[in-house]
Structure 1
Amino acid sequence: MATATETITLPYHQAPETTESLDWADLVTLDLSKFDQPGGKEELAKEFQRAIEEVGFFYVKNHGLTPSDIDTQFALAKSVLSLSNEDKAPYRAALEAGDYNGWKPAGIRDLIPGVKDNFEIYNIPKFIPAHANRPHPPIVKEHWTTIEEFSTRIHKQIVQKLLVIFAIALELQDENYFVDRHRYSEESGDHLRYMKYYHRSDEENQKLGGVWLKGHSDMGSLTLLFRQPVAALQVLTKDGTWKWVRPQTDALTVNLADALHFLTNGYLKSSIHRVVAPPPDQAHIDRLGVIYMVRIEDDTDLIPIQGSPVLHRLGLEEQKALGADGQPVKAGEWVKQRVIKNLGATSSAKGDNAESDVEIVKGVKIKYYE
C-alpha cells in the first residue's frame, strides 16, 4: 500500500489493449495541427459537423501534450489513488453539499441491492485563487507545479481551440463566444480527475448484467479522456445501439456535455455513454483513468444562445428558460445539484442502476439508460 510520502514511478506502463473483437464506434478525429493553418479552423468545424450528427463523441490528435506529460499524470493518479483510505480521508469531497473536488471513495452507493459502485475519484480543481487554500495529499503538493502546468495547458492548447471550432460550426460572428464563457480565471467547475474502476468478480458482473455505470450524460461542457486502454466505455449511437469507444494512440477522446446541449437546444448533443465490464482478457485489471472536465462559468444562464444562423435554420434558437418556473438555471447550480443527486444522496431502495430518470432542479430531469 502506498504511503502519503511516496513518489511517482516513471516510466508509467499502460495495460495492454484487448485482443477481443468488439463493435467499435466510428468516430471523427480532429487534427488540431490544422488550427493555425489558413482555413484550418473552418475545415475542422466542417469535420466536427459529423460528430454533432452522430453521437457527440470524437477524437483529438496533435493536441500538444507529449506521451511523457500524460504518463506523468497516470503515474500520479496511480500513486494518489493507491494511498490508504485513512490517508485520503481528510480530503474527502463534500458530495452531499455538491462539492466534488477532493476524494470520492469507492462503494458509497448501491447499484443494485448488495452491489455497490466500484469507482474511486480524486478531483483537483483549476488553479485560481478560489481554490488556493484547499488541502491535498503530500504526493499532490509535491508535484503541484507539474499538475498546474498540465491543467493550464489543457485549457489553452486544447479546450480554447475546440470552443472556437464549435463557434465556427454554429456560424457565430464572434468565434470567441464560447471561449469568453469558459475563462480559466473565473469560477467554474473545471477540474483534473484521477479515477479508478476496480475490477469485479464474475458473480458481481452477472448480477449487474455487466453494466457498471448506467448510460448518462456529463454535467458540464466537455469531457476529455486521456488514452485508456482497458475497454469499458460505450456510447449510445443515434440508432439506439451501444458501441465500444476504442482507445486511440496519441489521441484524446472527447465528448460533449449538458451545458453545450442546453445552450444550443440539443444541436450540440450531450452524448450518452456508460461503463461496462471489460472484455475477458482485461477483466482482472483495475481501470485507471486521467480525465479533464470542462465546465462553463458558474453564473451562465443555461438558455439557448442567439445569433447562430445554424440554430435559426433548424428552429432551435427559441430563448426558453430551462427551469419549470420560467427562470433560467445557472450552470453552477446545475452542476451542484447533479452532484448532490448523483453522488451525495442516499441510493434508492432498488439501487442506482434501477433508476430511469432523476429530477435535478426546477423540474428538469436527466434520463439514465440501460
Structure 2
Amino acid sequence: MPGATLPAVTHYQRPPTTKEDLVWADLPIIDFSKVGTPEGRAELVPQVRDAMRTHGFLIVINHGWTQAQNNRIFDVADVPFTQVSEDEKKRFQTKTQETGTPEGYKLRRSWTVNNGVRDELEYYTFFGQSDHPEALQPFLPEYHEFARHNHYNVLYPVLRLLATGMELPEETFVDIHDFDETAVKYARFLKYHPRAEEEEVKADNVWLKGHTDIGTITVLWSQPISALQIMSPDGKWRWVRHIENALTWLRQDFWFQVVNIGDAMEMLTGGFYKATIHRVVQPPKDQRGFTRLGAFYFAMCNDDVKLVPFTDSPALQREGVVRKVEDRDAPTMRDWRKARSAAYGVSETKRKDDVVEEQIINGVVVKHYN
C-alpha cells in the first residue's frame, strides 16, 4: 500500500534456493508490461493461448508491484501461522466439509495423502468473512490490496488474453469475474511443514497429490522452496523453477507469478484450455527442514455462472468441444466450488490404475494423480 504507514511485522527470511540439478519445466514467460497497448496485447495473445493449451501454466513478469511490495506480502503472509495460537486457529477453523466454503484455517493433518499418511499443510483463506484472528486485524487492508492487485492487474489481463485467443470479445471472461469490494474472497496464505522421514517413505515423498484446481485461474506467487511439480505434455513430472533475483534481464519488478488454468475454465472453454495437473512433493535435499510459505489467489467466476462452454467461439468451433458433463447437467460455479471443496482430502477415491484415482463429483469425473 504505497504512501501508507504500515504496521510493524516480523520480517520473513526466505530460505535459499536449491543448488540441486533438477529437471525443470520449460514454462513460457509472459511480460505484462505489454498489456497496456493494443499492439502489446496482440503480441501476447498467441503466447498465452499456446502456453495455456500446451502447458496450462505460464509465468507472469512485470505485473506492477515493486520488490518492496513483494517482500512485504510474504512478511504479512506469515502472520496467520506465527502470530496466532493453536487454540485460536481452532476457533477459526474452516468448516469446508459441512459448508463447502473455505474461509478460515485448514489445520495440519486433516487430509490423507497416501498409505494413511496425513498432510502437514496449514492455510488461512480470506473468503468474505468479517471475523478474523486478532493478530491479523492490523494487516487486513494489505490482504485486501493483495486480492485487488491479483484480480485487476493479473487475473483480468489474463482473462482478456484468453478470450481473445478463442476469438471471443475481449471482456467475455472478465464479465463473469466480478470482484466484491467489501470482501477478500479468494486470497490464501499457506505453509507446508517438514514431515518425518518414515512418513515420507510411506507417502512416496508426495505432500499433495497431483490434482487440478477448482476454479478458473490460480495465481501463485513464487517462493524459493522447490516443491511444486507439473505434469508436462509428455506425461512426466517436472519441477517449477523459482527465478532468482540475479536474472537481471527482467525489469525492476522481476518477482514473478505462476498462473495456471483450473477446472472451471476448462469447462467454460469446452476443453480449449485444459486444467493443469500439478502436485507438491518433498523439496530437494538442500532445502529439507525449511517450512514452505505460499501466497495464492484462487479466482472463480461468479457463483451463478453455469459451467458450460462458450460455443460461439470460432476457435472452439474449429477445434471441437470437449465436455466434462452434458450442458443440461453442468453445475454452477457455486455448486462446483462447494462440492469439490467439501470432498477434497476426505472423500474416498477409486483407483483406476497405478497412477490415477477417481471420484465422481456433481456428475463430473475428478482425477487425482499419485
**TM-score under structure 2 length normalisation:** 0.89
Gaps (5+ residues) in structure 2? 1-6, 245-254
Aligned partner of 1:78 in structure 2 is: 78
Question: Secondary structure at 1:289's aligned position in 2?
Answer: strand
Q: CA deviation at 1:335?
A: 0.8
Aligned partner of 1:240 in structure 2 is: 235
- Shift of the 308–200 alpha-carbon distance from structure 1 to 2, 3 Å rule, reads same
Matched, 1:148 2:148: no
Matched, 1:136 2:132: yes
Aligned partner of 1:360 in structure 2 is: 361
Aligned partner of 1:107 in structure 2 is: 109
Question: Secondary structure at 1:274's aligned position in 2?
Answer: strand
Q: CA deviation at 1:310?
A: 0.7
**TM-score under structure 1 length normalisation:** 0.89
1:63–1:158 contact (8 Å) kept in structure 2: yes
Matches for 1:275-290 after TM superposition, within 5 Å: 275-290=280-295
Q: CA deviation at 1:304?
A: 0.6
The alignment yields a C-alpha RMSD, in angstroms, of 2.4
1:323–1:329 contact (8 Å) kept in structure 2: no
Aligned partner of 1:3 in structure 2 is: none
Seq. identity, %: 34
Question: Secondary structure at 1:356's aligned position in 2?
Answer: strand
Amino acid at match of 1:141: Q
Equivalents in 1 of 2:57, 2:30: separation in Å?
A: 11
Aligned partner of 1:53 in structure 2 is: 53
Aligned partner of 1:161 in structure 2 is: 157
1:101–1:123 contact (8 Å) kept in structure 2: yes
Equivalents in 1 of 2:176, 2:146: separation in Å?
A: 21
What is the CA deviation profile of residues 214-253 of structure 1, one whole-angstrom value per residue up to 9, with x for unaligned ones?
1100000111111111000000011111100111241101
- Shift of the 347–283 alpha-carbon distance from structure 1 to 2, 3 Å rule, reads farther
1:124 aligns with one of 106, 123, 126: 126
1:57–1:254 contact (8 Å) kept in structure 2: yes
What is the CA deviation profile of residues 130-183 of structure 1, one whole-angstrom value per residue up to 9, with x for unaligned ones?
x3x5210112211111221221122111111111111111111x2000000001
1:259–1:331 contact (8 Å) kept in structure 2: yes
Aligned partner of 2:69 in structure 1 is: 69
2:334 aligns with one of 332, 335, 347: 332
Q: CA deviation at 1:285?
A: 0.8
Equivalents in 2 of 1:182, 1:201: separation in Å?
A: 41
Equivalents in 2 of 1:272, 1:321: separation in Å?
A: 16
Aligned partner of 2:252 in structure 1 is: none
Equivalents in 1 of 2:307, 2:226: separation in Å?
A: 34
Q: CA deviation at 1:327?
A: 2.7
Q: CA deviation at 1:38?
A: 3.9
Aligned partner of 1:306 in structure 2 is: 311
Amino acid at match of 1:312: Q
- Shift of the 198–354 alpha-carbon distance from structure 1 to 2, 3 Å rule, reads farther
Equivalents in 1 of 2:74, 2:348: separation in Å?
A: 31
Equivalents in 2 of 1:187, 1:311: separation in Å?
A: 36
Aligned partner of 1:90 in structure 2 is: 91
Equivalents in 2 of 1:147, 1:259: separation in Å?
A: 25
Gaps (5+ residues) in structure 1? 1-5, 126-130
2:227–2:281 contact (8 Å) kept in structure 1: yes
Question: Secondary structure at 1:143's aligned position in 2?
Answer: helix
Equivalents in 2 of 1:242, 1:219: separation in Å?
A: 21
